[in-house]
Amino acid sequence: MAPAFLATLDPSALDPSALGSGGLGAGSWWRTIGGLAVVFGLLFLSLKLLSRYGRRGAAAQARMVAVWHLGPRREIQILRLGEEVSYVYKHENAMVLLRQEEWEAYRQQYGETVAAGPAGSLTLPPALTRWFKATALRPAASRD
């Protein structure tokens, strides 16, 4: 027993020889390419609209505040992410989160001019400088 929707189809429409040479027909390639063009066009349009009307407030508060250079491939980056400031130690292929603090605490400690300006080179605090020099001069453990 055939389903009811098959009774409405014309049996000659299902004949593969009616579709053209090779059973696929020349029109099917153009339909496929046209369908892909429509899909990619809609994707491009939606990405353009998202970039234009996306959230801008959150992106404006995520930025690099300062960079403390420690050597050829070592540095401490101070990043502002919303209302939080993160200190990240970066060395070759590794990044380590040192600490996090509130934006207001950072602003009170270092002042508005440093926090509002573009990312630049700052001198390290003396305690941090002493710590890095002590770890660099520490002799390696001898192997027996």
Task: Tell me the residue type at 109.
Answer: Q
Cα distance between residue 19 and residue 26, in whole Å: 8
Query: Residue 120 has what pLDDT?
Result: 47
Cα-based angle 95, 101, 104 (whole degrees, multiple of 5): 135
Classify residue 34: in a domain, yes or no: no
Residue 81 domain-assigned (yes or no):
yes
Residue 44 falls within a domain, yes or no? no
Establish if 116 belongs to a structural domain. yes
Whether residue 94 is contained in a domain is answered as: yes
In a domain? residue 123: yes
Overall number of domains in the chain: 1
Q: In tens digits, what is the pLDDT along the chain, a chain of 144 residues?
A: 566 776 676 666 666 665 555 445 556 888 899 999 999 999 999 999 888 876 665 555 678 888 989 888 899 999 988 889 999 999 888 999 999 999 899 888 887 544 444 444 455 666 666 666 655 555 555 444
Residue 82 lies in a domain: yes
pLDDT of residue 40: 96
Four-residue CA torsion sign, 16, 19, 25, 29: negative
Structural domain of 117? 59-135
Report yes or no on 83 lying in a domain. yes
Whole-number pLDDT of residue 71:
86
User: What is the pTM assigned to this prediction?
Assistant: 0.42
Q: What is the pLDDT of residue 20?
A: 54
